């Protein structure tokens, strides 16, 4: 194992914690095993006895927002079944943070400051940031507009085969922004443009590092999205998780908020200039696939 990678990871963790503490955030710990993983169409939770392992801490963080905690962050392992590859590991370290009375653009500004603080560890500036609407990016690199007419299969394949490789050729961080409403996940629709969801994803060197939302705060819509997702998962023969009623109720009570989830192992890759997680995640082996 590369001891340099462990030293760099340690420095990165300290840098991230200092960044959030200076900005008045508190670090929280939330359950790792749970009965009701957050239901998303393409994310499968690892079963653990009569529980599941978390795929993200988000359902607890939103309950904390509803309880009045306005600046929270957590760094911890999350688990996703069947995800192993150059950029994937089935157990990986996630940084997730939320701020009340903030939207996805406020979160983008905070992310930019965080990435700059982290880049200083390596004396490596990442260069100019580029904001690219999903609609523009797809028209430019894939020849169609998923916001005008959404096609889920084509969206995923073209994103992987056409758009992401093109982003890798743009110097500096690239932010893909304003996703089709169909790919909103847990974000809110843009006020004044219901075709678009207030969601962005950050790429550096073509590697997807972070996902952010202006959080959905409409409990009815949240329940509707979970139910639609449950139906699709059932059709695909995937496990359907129970809906966490406390979470849905909290969504309706939480203030307008922004949240970001960032993959720490990939951030480490970008810092180290590596092209795979191999050597950066301790004890990683193909047997983990």
Partner 1 sequence: MYNASDLKKGLKIEIDGDPCIITNFDFSKPGKGQAIYRCKIKNLVTGNQFEKSYRSGDKVNRCSLISREFTFSYIDGADYVFSDNETFEEARLNDELLGDLKYFIVDDMKVEILFHNERALDITLPNFVEMPIAETEPGARGDTANNVMKPAKLANGYELNVPIFINEGDIVRIDTRNGQYSDRVSKG
Binding site for partner 1 (CB under 8 A): 40-43, 82-88, 152-153, 155-157, 159-161, 164, 183, 185, 201, 208, 211, 236, 289
Collect contacts of 163-170 with beta carbons under 8 A, ≥24 apart.
163/137, 163/138, 164/203, 164/206, 164/208, 165/206, 166/137, 166/140, 166/141, 167/132, 167/137, 167/203, 167/206, 168/203, 168/205, 168/206, 168/207, 169/206, 170/130
Q: What is the dihedral of CA 20, 21, 22, 25, to 10 degrees?
A: 70
The nearer residue to partner 1, 82 or 191, going by C-beta atoms, is 82
Minimum gap (Å) between residue 18 Cβ and partner 1: 27
> How far apart, in whole angstroms, are the C-alpha atoms of residue 66 and residue 250?
6
By the 8 A CB rule, do 36 and 247 touch? yes
The alpha-carbon radius of gyration of the chain (Å, integer) is 18
Residue matched to tokens 């998962």: 233
Using the minimum distance from each CB to partner 1, give the nearer residue, 77 or 124: 77
Instruction: Output the smallest distance, CB 186 to partner 1, in A.
Output: 9
Closest distance to partner 1 from the beta carbon of 31 (Å) = 22
Q: How many CA atoms lie within 13 A of 261 on its CB side?
A: 19
Distance of closest approach, residue 207 Cβ to partner 1, in angstroms: 11
Give whole-number Cα distances, 39 to 58, 245, 266, in Å. Answer: 11, 13, 24
Q: Which residue, 4 or 276, is less far from partner 1 as judged by CB?
A: 276
187 secondary structure, DSSP code: B
Q: Which residues pair with 73 in a beta bridge?
A: 27, 97
Min CB(262)–partner 1 separation in Å: 11
Decide whether 24 or 82 has the Cβ nearer to partner 1. 82
Q: How many CA atoms lie within 13 A of 177 on its CB side?
A: 15
Shortest distance in whole angstroms from residue 185 CB to partner 1? 5
Which CB atom, from 42 or from 77, has the smaller least distance to partner 1? 42
- Minimum CB distance to partner 1, residue 201 (Å): 5
Inter-residue contact 200 to 175 (CB < 8 Å): yes
Q: Which is nearer to partner 1, 46 or 100 (CB)?
A: 46
Do residues 102 and 251 lie in contact, with contact meaning Cβ atoms separated by under 8 Å? no
Please check whether residue 229 is in contact with residue 40, taking contact to mean a CB–CB distance below 8 angstroms.
yes
Return the number of the residue (156 or 245) whose C-beta is nearest partner 1.
156
Q: Which is nearer to partner 1, 198 or 201 (CB)?
A: 201
**Least distance between partner 1 and beta carbon 161 (Å):** 7
């Amino acid at each position: 194992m590369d001891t340099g990678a462990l030293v760099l990871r340690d420095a990165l963790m300290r840098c991230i914690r200092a960044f959030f503490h200076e900005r008045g955030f508190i670090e929280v710990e939330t359950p790792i095993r749970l009965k009701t993983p957050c239901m998303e169409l393409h994310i499968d939770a690892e079963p653990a006895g009569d529980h599941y392992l978390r795929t993200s801490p988000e359902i607890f963080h939103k309950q904390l927002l509803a309880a009045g905690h306005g600046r929270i962050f957590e760094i911890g392992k999350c688990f996703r079944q069947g995800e192993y590859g150059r950029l994937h590991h089935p157990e990986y370290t996630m940084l997730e943070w939320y701020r009340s009375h903030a939207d996805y653009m406020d979160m983008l500004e905070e992310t930019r400051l965080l990435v700059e603080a982290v880049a200083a560890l390596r004396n490596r500036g990442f260069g100019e940031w580029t904001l690219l609407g999903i609609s523009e990016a797809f028209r430019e690199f894939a020849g169609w507009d998923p916001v005008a007419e959404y096609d889920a299969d084509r969206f995923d394949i073209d994103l992987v085969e056409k758009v992401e490789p093109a982003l890798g050729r743009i110097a500096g961080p690239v932010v893909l922004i304003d996703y089709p409403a169909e790919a909103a996940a847990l974000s809110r629709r843009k006020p004044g443009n219901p075709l678009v969801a207030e969601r962005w994803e950050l790429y550096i060197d073509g590697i997807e590092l972070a996902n952010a939302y202006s959080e959905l705060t409409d409990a009815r819509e949240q329940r509707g999205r979970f139910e639609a997702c449950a139906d699709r998962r059932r059709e695909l023969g995937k496990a359907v998780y129970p809906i966490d009623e406390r979470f849905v109720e909290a969504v309706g009570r939480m203030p307008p908020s922004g949240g970001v989830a960032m993959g720490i192992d990939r951030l480490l890759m970008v810092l180290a200039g590596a092209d795979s997680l191999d050597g950066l995640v301790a004890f990683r082996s193909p047997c983990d696939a």
